[in-house]
């Protein structure tokens, strides 16, 4: 099909973060649709986000961002775009703080266009005015493109029809990650551990990535390490990232004589691949998001807390006992218990790597995301059967394994 005959679909963001490179590349390669990327070429300095370097030949409309009323965003060119006659569908980043999106989505609907919101959706049920505000905003869209099934479940409870909600998951640049993975050999991993932890490199190694800020609750992880030390089960921790919480965390680690290496920020995917693959676990005491995708793609299991209302949608990718584990929310002693239990009883490392990558290869990758987005654009019904079957089969396998272990104990 000639690209000139493909329907034109604008995707309106405030700006496109660098981690959207993989899914954007898949969108550009689409044989069904031609995509127009609409957003600022650079993020506001205070956001501290590196933007996607789009190819020169891609259709890109550079907009200006204005914040005259605090966080409420006004964006140039978008209203005119909503009225263009050669556009029949338009995808907006579904953020209710974007004032222009409210107006543009309403104009697009009035002019007969189909409107899609690409959004996290709900993490927990809304209360009071927030509930009515969000529902008013979401009613502007024909379809919500959600990151996870937890959000869809809450949407159903709010009365949104299931055909209006398509789960499209989330992704990083899986192709680049696999290329980086191929540069790391299993034989290199002991040297990587030793480079950070010297003579203590034989201990289990944890990794944690992200901004060092209070909402990460990294102090809970250091508390858990202290409890493990007291039990005679010390572990190492590699912290990737920087932020205002670094000084307090460093003091906490030093006071408790914990083995923590503060690496600082890192954006080199080859280095990140080697760090994740050298680690036994990603331990995230606070809310997890794309860090889950990063870790699982490199075959490293993830330990997170068990409260879905205080998690990012990527939390759903972690199946306890299969590719990670849950601990009791905000409970550092239980975190210590779960870390030790996993490290002492985890299955073979090769098997775990396979399990971790399986969920990424099936769902959380750019190709699957685009396939699901285009299913929604085609007007096809939402279909969650593949996800439901995947979860069901993995849980059945785990139940069978537990039953088998109990039977062996009974026989003894």
| pLDDT at position 403 | 56
- Are residues 295 and 157 part of one domain? no
Give the residue from 316, 341, 360 where a domain finishes: 360
- The answer to whether the beta carbons of residues 41 and 14 sit under 8 Å apart is no
Is residue 95, in this structure, part of any structural domain at all?
A: yes
What is the rounded distance in angstroms from the CA atom of residue 299 to the CA atom of residue 408? 30
Positive/negative CA dihedral, 289, 40, 90, 361: negative
- Are residues 57 and 98 part of one domain? yes
What is the rounded distance in angstroms from the CA atom of residue 37 to the CA atom of residue 345? 47
Is residue 318, in this structure, part of any structural domain at all?
A: yes
| pLDDT at position 87 | 97
Cβ neighbors of 282 (< 8 A, separation 6 or more) are: 206, 207, 208, 209, 276, 291, 292, 294, 295, 300, 301, 302, 303
- Are residues 187 and 65 part of one domain? no
- Are residues 199 and 75 part of one domain? no
* CATH number (domain holding residue 329): 3.40.50.2000
List, as own/partner pairs, every contact residues 143-146 make where C-beta atoms lie below 8 angstroms and the sequence separation is at least 24, other chains included: 143/114, 143/115, 143/116, 143/117, 143/376, 144/94, 144/116, 144/117, 144/119, 145/91, 145/94, 145/116, 145/117, 145/118, 145/119, 145/372, 145/373, 145/376, 146/119, 146/120, 146/121, 146/313
- Are residues 378 and 351 part of one domain? no
What range defines the domain where residue 190 resides? 174-360
- Are residues 133 and 10 part of one domain? yes
| pLDDT at position 265 | 94
- Are residues 141 and 30 part of one domain? yes
Is residue 401, in this structure, part of any structural domain at all?
A: no
Is residue 215, in this structure, part of any structural domain at all?
A: yes
Specify the pairing of strand 72-75 against strand 65-69: antiparallel
Residues 327, 333, 338: CA angle, nearest 5 degrees: 40
Is residue 283, in this structure, part of any structural domain at all?
A: yes
Residues 62, 66, 69: CA angle, nearest 5 degrees: 160
- Are residues 356 and 239 part of one domain? yes
- Are residues 268 and 240 part of one domain? yes
Among 118, 134, 97, which residue's Cα sits nearest to residue 16? 118
Q: How many domains are there within the chain?
A: 2
Q: Per residue of the chain (412 residues), give pLDDT as tens.
A: 444 589 999 999 999 999 999 999 999 999 999 999 999 999 998 888 899 999 999 999 999 999 998 889 999 999 999 999 999 999 999 999 999 999 999 999 999 999 999 999 999 999 999 999 999 999 999 999 999 999 999 999 999 999 999 999 999 999 999 999 999 999 999 999 999 999 999 999 999 999 999 989 999 999 999 999 999 999 999 999 999 999 999 999 999 999 999 999 999 999 999 999 999 999 999 999 999 999 999 999 999 999 999 999 999 999 999 999 999 999 999 999 999 999 999 889 999 999 999 999 999 999 999 999 999 999 999 999 999 999 998 888 777 666 555 444 444 4
Is residue 396, in this structure, part of any structural domain at all?
A: no
Residue 392 tokens read as 């069901």
- Are residues 334 and 226 part of one domain? yes
Q: 3-class secondary structure for 64-105? A: CEEEEECCEEEECCHHHHHCCCCCCEEEEECCCCEHHHHHHH
- Are residues 211 and 331 part of one domain? yes
| pLDDT at position 3 | 47
The answer, as to whether pTM is greater than 0.85, is yes
Is residue 407, in this structure, part of any structural domain at all?
A: no
- Are residues 8 and 114 part of one domain? yes
Is residue 408, in this structure, part of any structural domain at all?
A: no
């Amino acid at each position: 099909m000639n690209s000139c005959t493909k329907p034109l679909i604008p995707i309106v963001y405030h700006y496109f973060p660098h981690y959207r490179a993989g899914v954007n590349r898949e969108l550009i390669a689409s044989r069904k649709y031609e995509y127009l990327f609409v957003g600022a070429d650079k993020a506001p300095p205070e956001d501290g986000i590196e933007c996607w370097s789009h190819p020169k030949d891609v259709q890109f409309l550079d907009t200006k961002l204005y914040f005259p009323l605090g966080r409420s965003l006004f964006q140039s060119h978008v209203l005119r775009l909503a009225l263009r006659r050669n556009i029949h569908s338009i995808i907006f980043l579904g953020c209710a703080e974007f004032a222009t999106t409210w107006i543009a989505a309403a104009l697009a609907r009035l002019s007969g266009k189909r409107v899609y919101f690409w959004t996290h959706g709900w993490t927990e049920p809304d209360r009071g005015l927030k509930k009515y505000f969000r529902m008013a905003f979401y009613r502007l869209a024909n379809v919500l493109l959600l990151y996870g099934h937890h959000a869809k479940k809450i949407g159903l409870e709010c009365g949104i029809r299931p055909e209006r909600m398509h789960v499209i998951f989330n992704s990083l640049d899986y192709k680049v990650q696999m290329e980086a993975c191929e540069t790391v050999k299993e034989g290199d991993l002991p040297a990587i551990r030793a480079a950070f932890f010297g003579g203590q490199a034989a201990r289990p190694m944890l990794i944690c990535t992200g901004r060092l800020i209070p909402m990460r609750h990294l102090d809970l992880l250091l508390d858990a390490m202290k409890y493990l030390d007291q039990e005679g089960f010390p572990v190492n921790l590699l912290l990737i990232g920087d932020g205002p919480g670094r000084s307090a965390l460093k003091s906490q680690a030093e006071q408790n004589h914990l083995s923590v290496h503060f690496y600082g920020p890192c954006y080199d995917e080859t280095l990140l691949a080697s760090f994740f693959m050298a680690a036994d676990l990603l331990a995230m005491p606070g809310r997890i998001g794309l860090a889950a995708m990063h870790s699982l793609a490199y075959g490293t299991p993830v330990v997170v807390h068990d409260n879905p209302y205080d998690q990012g949608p990527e939390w759903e990718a972690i199946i306890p006992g299969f590719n990670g584990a849950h601990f009791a929310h905000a409970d550092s002693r239980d975190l210590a218990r779960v870390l030790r239990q996993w490290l002492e009883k985890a299955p073979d490392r090769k098997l775990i790597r396979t399990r971790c990558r399986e969920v990424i290869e099936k769902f959380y990758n750019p190709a699957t995301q685009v396939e699901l987005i285009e299913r929604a654009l085609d007007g096809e019904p939402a279909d969650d059967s593949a996800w439901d079957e995947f979860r069901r089969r993995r849980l059945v396998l785990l139940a069978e394994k537990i039953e088998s272990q109990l039977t062996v104990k009974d026989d003894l």
